[in-house]
Structure 1
Amino acid sequence: MHSLKNKDLDNLLAKLVDDSITDEELANLEKILDGDVSAQRRYFHYLDLHMDLQERVTRSKVHPKARISIPKWKVVGAAAIFFLWIGFSYFVVDESAGPGSSAIARVTGMDGLIEWSAEDGSIINDLSIGDPLREGTIEGLNSNSWVKMEFNDGSEAVISGISKLKFSQSQGSKVLNFTQGYLSVNAKPQPKNNPMLVLSPGARAEVLGTQFNVVASPQLTRYTVNEGLVRVERINDGSVQEVSSNHYVVAKLESRDEFKSVLLEDYYEEWKSEFPRDVRRGHLYQPRSAQSALSPHRLRTKPCLWVEEGRKPELHFSVNIGVSATGPLPVLINENAKFKIRGRIDTNMFGVDDSNFFIVGFNSNYAHGGFAGKYVTKEKVDLSSKDNNDQFEIEIPVSEFLKVKKDQFKDSLVRSSSAGLELLDLWFVTYQNIGLEIFDAEIILKDE
């Protein structure tokens, strides 16, 4: 975008958030944003930064209910316009550069906000089931995202949650470069001299034909093999393990621990979050105590686009906490388990009162591979007591979570047991910015 146009856009955005924009200027802002990919990205980035700043200023105010505000009608109106552009122009690319050119895979299932991009900068986020995909990078951009791809030879790959997978072909081999999130692969038999290659933080794997799962974070990768055999090499020292069915191996980026394939008989049913290790989305910070010492980390919600097929995109505020996705062992759900959540709601935020609610959800996978579904519940927090410093502690039985059932025209919630499933990650969503902070989350089997 031209620098002069950038300056005009920034001036209008500043007036928007300061509540000084006129109707004429608002119309001019809409005109600038209409059809301009660069301007639209700048708009949303600006709004994101402003909301972060608003939260920090609000926390430092002395007087209760003090707040920097944007009139709700202007934010909703501008956001609605922005969302319409997402559908019609934001990620429009030249047809000749589309994802179907020299396709090596196709989309066979999906939900949430999914983005595909190519080396030449082409981007598209309105993928549909059946769309062909050429070499590129596919990402799940929010907690409820998942996408299933089928390669030309019938091999399948699923990513779920906040995930990033670059896929290509090199000298007859499929190459999957997986840098973040959860990946499940069902690989058809590959040519002996051209195995499927999987690259991830700390590890490199060769696959001839098998079903396996990969959990990747910046610090480590865990390969779990459910069928067949996968050869995994730890990058930092070249150690190699042949991982057979019902075994797993963990490769850490900076570790000299023994690199060994382990029988998959160990798993957790109880779990407690550990920050910053388990942070997948949110603003992580450490408040100072009265003694000027740093307190334990807190994870505060950040703005996000919530996109589901058949629904208009919505601006929500969320945090995402890794469970199996960031831990050394899988966490399986016990039917008698319950979540114990400690946190805070910022009553200095506009619109926050003594009774507030948020959505709690988790993504799950089958214990032996493959995406199993999303489960959600709605939790109400009572802050009527003035002695709790806006803090809360709640317990939610696993049985209260309902499974999201995908239908052609709309979703529905059904009662379906999650017992025995692997819990990938845990997320919290609010429909307005109530300054939700999570101190820690646990899975417990009995009252402590």
Structure 2
Amino acid sequence: MNENSHRKDSDWDDLVDRHLFGELSESEMERLAEFLDSDPSLRKDFIQRASWETELAEVLRTGGNDESRTFDASIAGQLETRQGRSIHFLRAMLAIAAVAILMLSALLFTSQTKLKVANSKDTSVEPDPVAKITGLTGSMIWTGDRGDILREISVGSELTGGTIEGLSPDSWFELRFNDGSEVTISGASMLTFSDDGQKRLRLREGRMSADVSPQPDGKPMVIQTRTATLTVLGTSFDVEADLPATSVSVREGTVRVARTSDGKEIDVPANHRVIAAADQELERRQITGVVHQWKSRIDQGPDETFGKWLAATDTDPPLLRAVAYNPKQAPHVVLYLLGLGVRNDDATPVQLNADSHFEIHGKTEVETDIYFGIEVAYGKGDYAGKFRAKCIVERDASGNFVASADLPDFELDPSVAAFKDKLAPSPEGLFVNGVWSFTHSETPSGLRISAVELTAGIHETNQSQR
């Protein structure tokens, strides 16, 4: 082995080990991604090592009581000698690092199904597809079950399992399993799935809606997030996952939710919601009524945002800054884009009516048009489309602006025009899940927002809900 090869192997080992312990900087993560892109054998090695660490973390967490796992003397011996760490030190470190191990990016995270395929002796046999893409817009990255990383995926593609990541607020992905079960992710989300007779999904972050067909006896659909495990026999529900908590809202049927921190379980029936988080009670709350008003909470931090969050200064409140974005449909175009999730603490749905009015407060560095978009759903949670409007903008000499748009100003977003026959013709009467804003200028606009507010008159809509 020459000196360059030895150095490469040493760099690879160091990067992987430190990634699994959550110690990599942003530039080192990029270096690790370059290794994975350049060499299929390194991708396979990473899959094996990442999965081994994940399984180990679970054994240490459960004490090895799961009959499906073995934790014998040979593995214990490996733990004692691996990089000189003691088993006691690994117990402490893995308790801290388990979340980091499971929070692998789209370039780095793979499912258990992928590991089985990577380890298969007969790699020439393609596994059978388990699902088909039935809807897709916006920028996505697909990591297939054999480690392929693809940006060009399309409606009608049949998939064997893997990871899909929505990269922007306008991303939308609809997947139909062979039994008719459907799941949808929207916005900046990441979902991993497999089906070897039992459907297993992991929602790393973002929002997912599901309509699940009755599942086989003893093989419920299992959905994991960082803070909860959901067991589903057949029902309709929504899940929102971020680092500290998982929110589950059930529309039909019942979902069992187990909190990761202590294993406590609760059954959530229709029209109820639960939040699984280590710092609050695990309790059902009934979802009653709707609201027609909403206000963003940018001051509470970057959770459920897309863009660069900026802390308050002596002169400015907390701001969300737009970042450069190339739409998949027009990769030569540069937009400056930001986005926000729409959610109330009590899970009350936010409904749009004929008098709905959006107002956006912020700043720009250049005078340019400002556009505002909304993602909406039907009453049962099914995806209903995306709409956008060109705002009326009032500015002052310092670059501060107030932009506004009334509901009649919104039109179907061009990115979902191909699906207009299956989407709503208007956002009136629907429920808003997310909002975004963007500019399209020759130079960076410096778009920053401090608040978004939805207000409405007393008009009530009688539009039927799907």
Give the alignment's TM-score, normalised by structure 2: 0.65
Paired position in structure 1 for 2:328 = 307
1:331 to 2:350 alignment: yes
Distance (Å, rounded) in 2 between the aligned partners of 1:315 and 1:392: 22
- 1:321 — aligned with what? 340
Q: Looking at secondary structure, tell me which structure has more helix per residue.
A: 2
Aligned residue type for 1:107: I
Q: 1:155 aligns with which of 176, 181, 190?
A: 181
Residues of 2 paired with 1:329 and 1:97: CA distance? 49
Structure 1 counterpart of 2:322, which letter? Answer: T
> What one-letter code is carried by the residue in structure 2 that aligns with 1:437?
R
Out of 446, 454, 464, the position equivalent to 1:443 is 454
Partner of residue 272, structure 1: 295
1:263 corresponds to which of 273, 286, 303: 286
1:296-353 alpha-carbon deviations (Å, 9 max, x no partner):
2111111112113xx555321111111139984432223322112110111xxxxx34
Amino acid at match of 1:402: E
Specify the alignment match of 1:32 in structure 2.
Answer: none
Residue in 1 aligned with 2:382? 370
Q: CA RMSD for the aligned pairs?
A: 3.1
Kindly report which structure 2 residues correspond to 1:11-410, keeping only aligned pairs within 5 A, or say none: 101-118=127-144, 120-169=146-195, 172-252=197-277, 254-257=278-281, 259-275=282-298, 276-289=301-314, 295-308=316-329, 311-312=330-331, 314-324=333-343, 328-346=347-365, 352-353=366-367, 356-383=368-395, 385-386=396-397, 389-404=398-413, 406-408=416-418
Aligned length: 335
Task: Give, in angstroms, the shift of residue 375 of structure 1.
Answer: 0.8
The aligned counterpart of 1:41 is none
- Unaligned stretches of 5+ residues in structure 2: 5-35, 39-121, 459-466
Change (3 A) 1:183 1:97: farther
Structure 1 CA distance for aligned equivalents of residues 148 and 125 of structure 2: 9
Write the distance in 1 (CA, Å) between the matches of 2:124 and 2:130.
Answer: 13
Contact 2:392 / 2:405 at 8 angstroms: preserved in 1?
A: no
Q: What is the Cα deviation at residue 154 of structure 1? A: 1.9
Q: Distance in 2 between matches of 1:437 and 1:130?
A: 38
| 1:147-180 residue CA offsets vs partner (Å, 9 max, x unmatched) | 111112221111111111000236x321110122
The aligned amino acid for 2:373 is: G
CA contact (8 A) 1:269 1:443 kept: yes
Contact 2:370/2:403 (<8 A) preserved = no
Judge conservation of contact 1:146–1:160 (CA < 8 Å) in 2: yes
Note the residue ranges of structure 1 that are not aligned, 5 or more in a row. Answer: 4-35, 39-95, 347-351
Deviation at 1:119, TM superposition (A): 5.8
Work out whether residues 217 and 326 of structure 1, in 8 Å CA contact, stay in contact via their aligned partners in 2: no
CA contact (8 A) 1:325 1:425 kept: no
CA contact (8 A) 1:182 1:325 kept: no
Partner Cα separation in structure 1 for residue 375 and residue 148 of structure 2? 29
- Partner SS, residue 262 of structure 2: coil
- Sequence identity percentage: 30
Counterpart for residue 438 of structure 2: 429
Taking a change above 3 Å as real, the CA distance of residues 365 and 201 of structure 1, as seen in their structure-2 partners, is farther
Asked if 1 retains the 8 angstrom alpha-carbon contact of 2:228 and 2:258, the reply is yes
Q: 1-side partners of 2:378 and 2:226: how far apart?
A: 23
Structure 1 SS opposite 2:184: strand
Distance change (3 Å), C-alpha of 1:133 and 1:289: same
Shift in Å, 1:120: 4.8
Change (3 A) 1:442 1:157: same
Matched-pair contact (CA < 8 Å) for 1:403–1:416: yes
Alpha-carbon displacement from aligned partner over 1:109-157 (angstroms, at most 9, x marks no partner): 2111122103653111211221111121011112211111111222111
Q: Deviations over 1:354-386 (max 9, x none)?
A: xx2121101111121211100100124344x43
> Residue 119 and residue 419 in structure 1: after superposition, are their counterparts in 2 closer, same or farther (change >3 A)?
same
